[in-house]
A and B are shown apart, each in its own frame.
Chain A
Amino acid sequence: MLDIKRIPIPALIGIILTTLFVLAAVFAPWIAPHGNGEIVGDVWEPMSAAHLLGTDNLGRDLLSRMIYGARITLFIAVLATALSFSLGAILGFSAAVFGGWFDTLLSRLVDLLMSIPTLIMGLVVLSVLPTNLVTLILVMGILDSTRVYRLSRAVAVDINVMDYVEAAKLRGEGSGWIIFREILPNALSPLVSELGLRFIYAVLFLSTLSFLGLGVQPPDADWGGMVKENKDGIVFGIAAALIPAAAIALLAISVNLVADWVLNRTTSLKGGRG
């Protein structure tokens, strides 16, 4: 079914890089040469055989920090994106199918949430609630789901008036079948492309929060937090802050390469087999 030779090169690059990131995250304790909080050398040591990426502002091994950071970053971003998509898509589709007061109520609620800038909203909520992983994921997921809701509602409204949906309603199908079997497969293309983007926004949002000190708390750190820790080094010509930043960029690109490829496959109306 899936022939490796037929995967285009950009997608292949994306898949390999994303897999590497995921593997690093999952097997962090076994891969990392040093512990996460272990101080192994001088402050901001340059790259060497002992410390492949050098050391950070406290003399911890930067490579090990990066690997552990991948774990936290990916974990939070994946869960937040999953939450925002399941919540946003299901509510959006339901609003389109049921219409009426249900649609109006939800849509105005979403308008309300969207009228407050996401970052400010996140800052306010997180400064009030205890900062732990669960609240972080919930806040990020719910704030992002408003965007997904808008998109999926708009897409589903168009699909809901198609003759095949009417045929399903005439058959007497329940809303579950209509949402998941008639609308969802046809709304997949825009949702997949949005998924690639949203995941990266989640990584960036988490980085922003951590940079501002409201995200992941020390001694743990996601990549955004690591940029913050090492930002002062830039003044002295130390590249330690740029390495996590580069990792974020690389992850963004590789995830979107994969998303593009999935998008190409899902847009085929002939089951991708041509």
Chain B
Amino acid sequence: MADTKAKPGLLLDIRNLRIEATVFPPGEPPKNIVLVHDVSLTLEKGKVLGLIGESGAGKSTIGLSSMGYGRGGVRITGGEVILNGRDILKGGKDGFRKLRGREVCYVAQSAAAAFNPAHRLMDQVVEATLLHGTATRAEAEKRAVALFKKLSLPNPETIGERFPHQVSGGQLQRVMTAMALCSEPDLIVFDEPTTALDVTTQIDVLAAIKDAIRDTHVAALYITHDLAVVAQVSDEIMVLRHGRLVEWGGTRQIIKEPRQEYTNALVSVHEIEHAEQKPGTAPFLSVKNITAAYGGSHIKVLKNVSVDIYPGQTLAVVGESGSGKSTLARAITGLLPPEQGTVTFDGRPLANRLADRPKEDLRQLQMIYQMADVAMNPRQTVGTIIGRPLEFYFGMRGRERDKRVAELLDKIEMGKGFSDRYPAELSGGQKQRVCIARSLAAKPKLIICDEVTSALDPLVANGILKLLLDLQKEENVAYLFITHDLATVKSIADSIAVMYRGEVVRYGPKSKVLAPPFDAYTDLLLSSVPEMEIGWLEKAIKGRRMASAGN
């Protein structure tokens, strides 16, 4: 490899980076595992490099190595990290202290968890600048206010006086970007800065980050698992898998002409063909004029909502956080008894309260949760988790039950050996599959899926969606599919209800809902879904008719 130190404009040069960690499997001697296998990358001043890959690909680990940091016992064991012409790994602790927050800054995924809730925003934004003594407090605050303005935060002069809980998630993420930019670093590491946000908020944050990068000429490593997002902000993209480099190239080349099979799989991941089924003659579950509220009817979260679900079909409920879509599920299941309105099931009204419903009604309505790891009792084995509904609803015991559990495991494409495992021994996708099996075990007519794929990597999520569609064909089960991800909706829904602030603003068969003319909110929602196209972000911002509610 040619000596690149002399090359002008080169900011970061990582050579043959090897990162290891020690794992302590109980009952076995501790062993070393290699997380990152000799990855090299270079980044020029003012450029943005996107690092993408699924969980465990080592993208965050590589990103953090640019500031010489190993998270949770992770060690950098080989290679060089050359920043501004010197190998930072040789600088020792003092060197790191001078570097972090001065030359390299970090923007974390969950801004809500990364801010100290007990300090005002301004104090945290200027902290690094003051520590490194590069500016006086007055200068730093002036710079911060200018950054707040640039990141189009509301009330830039006074927002610094607020505490973290007093601003929204999207705003907090932008404040964090301001914090990173405040000490005028050469490099910023963005670690999934928009993953936890709604699509409608994501687009604002994305645009703000992009403008800020352009105006300050800072270089950035942008880490994400969403290729469409990274295509908007980066100049180059690096695809990683299992700690190894898969492909590295210009943004256009990666998304238009991927050379590796894995990249191709990532690029084409969202496309599942699903032909819409025509609504049948009679819905088996219909929700009529439901109004529900938390805290004794003060805060109405559902206003006069009516939807119908037909046998063997999927109704998708879409909307941003706080639109009431999960509350609708709670009202249908009886967890939150509605104040007005009725839920009719098979021609008879369902009791409002969960406690008043007979076992048979409970069996017919099953639910799958967003977070599969908290939806399963960590102290029960997979066999118990799937077998319990069989015992409970059908009185199956012993061998008969085990046989059925094995069948169900087979249905979710998992082997028989899994039935003795505990949830902690499963991967994220496997956990969600077990939850699906648990709900299928009851042989329900309707499964409510509450954001079941949002916590998963795109490829894994894709597998889950395909499984759900296959199972629907086999078992003729209907889904009420709650999501904020419109790509998911397109691939699974037969009919769609768009919710906004507790009301259904648009409802009908998929082909009608997704065809113009749109109302303002559906338009915003649709146009906010990142598309794998360069320049989409600017087009989308320009074409918007209303601001998102979360802003």
Contact = CB atoms under 8 A, between A and B. Distances in A.
Interface of A: 6, 162-164, 166-173, 181-182, 185-186, 268-274
A270 B357 CA distance: 35
B377 interface: yes
B389 interface: yes
Interface of B: 25-28, 333, 335, 354, 357, 359, 362-363, 365-367, 369, 371, 374-381, 388-389, 392, 422-425, 438, 442
B374 A273 contact: no
Nearest to A187: B379
Question: Which of A6, A172, A185 is packed against the most chain B CB atoms within 10 Å?
Answer: A172
Given A6-B27, A167-B367, A172-B392, A270 B425 contact: yes
Nearest to A159: B377
A182 B379 CA distance: 8
23 contacts: A162-B374, A163-B374, A164-B375, A164-B377, A166-B335, A167-B367, A167-B438, A169-B335, A170-B333, A170-B354, A170-B362, A171-B392, A171-B442, A172-B362, A181-B377, A182-B377, A269-B378, A269-B379, A270-B26, A270-B425, A273-B26, A273-B27, A274-B28
Given A270-B425, A273-B26, 13 more contacts: A163-B374, A164-B375, A164-B377, A168-B377, A169-B354, A170-B362, A172-B359, A185-B380, A186-B377, A269-B423, A273-B27, A274-B25, A274-B27
B422 A270 contact: yes
B392 A173 contact: yes
Contacts of A6: 27
Contacts of B27: 6, 273-274
B185 to A, nearest CB: 40
B375 A167 contact: yes
B367 A170 contact: yes
- Closest 4 A-B residue pairs measured CB to CB? A274-B26, A185-B379, A269-B424, A163-B375
Given A170-B362, A173-B392, A186 B369 contact: no
A62 to B, nearest CB: 45
Contact of A271 (B376, B388, B422): B422
Contacts of A186: 377-379
Contacts, number: 64
A190 B376 CA distance: 20
B229 to A, nearest CB: 28
B369 A163 contact: yes
Nearest to B425: A270
A173 B377 CA distance: 14
Nearest to B375: A163
B335 A270 contact: no
Contacts of A182: 377
Nearest to B333: A170
B392 to A, nearest CB: 6
A274 B377 CA distance: 17
Contact of B369 (A167, A169, A271): A167
Contacts of A166: 335
A175 to B, nearest CB: 11
Contacts of A270: 26, 422, 424-425
Contacts of A167: 367, 369, 375, 438
Most-contacted residue by chain B among A167, A181, A270, A273 (CB, 10 A): A167
Nearest to B381: A271
A198 to B, nearest CB: 23
Contacts of B26: 268, 270, 272-274
Contacts of B366: 170
A39 to B, nearest CB: 56
Contacts of B381: 271
A56 to B, nearest CB: 49
Nearest to B372: A163
Contacts of A168: 377
B422 A171 contact: no
Query: Of B26, B363, B369, B425, which is in contact with the most chain A CB atoms at under 10 Å from its CB?
Result: B26
Contacts of B388: 171
B367 to A, nearest CB: 6
Most buried by A among B377, B388, B438: B377
Nearest to A167: B375
Contacts of A171: 362, 388-389, 392, 442
Contacts of A173: 392
B357 to A, nearest CB: 8
Contacts of B377: 164, 168, 181-182, 185-186
A261 to B, nearest CB: 14
A159 to B, nearest CB: 9
Nearest to A268: B26
Contacts of B333: 170
A52 to B, nearest CB: 42
Contacts of A269: 378-379, 422-424
Nearest to A269: B424
A164 B374 contact: yes
B373 to A, nearest CB: 9
A190 B132 CA distance: 44
A202 to B, nearest CB: 28
Contacts of A164: 374-377
Nearest to B424: A269
A14 to B, nearest CB: 20
A186 to B, nearest CB: 6
Contacts of B376: 164
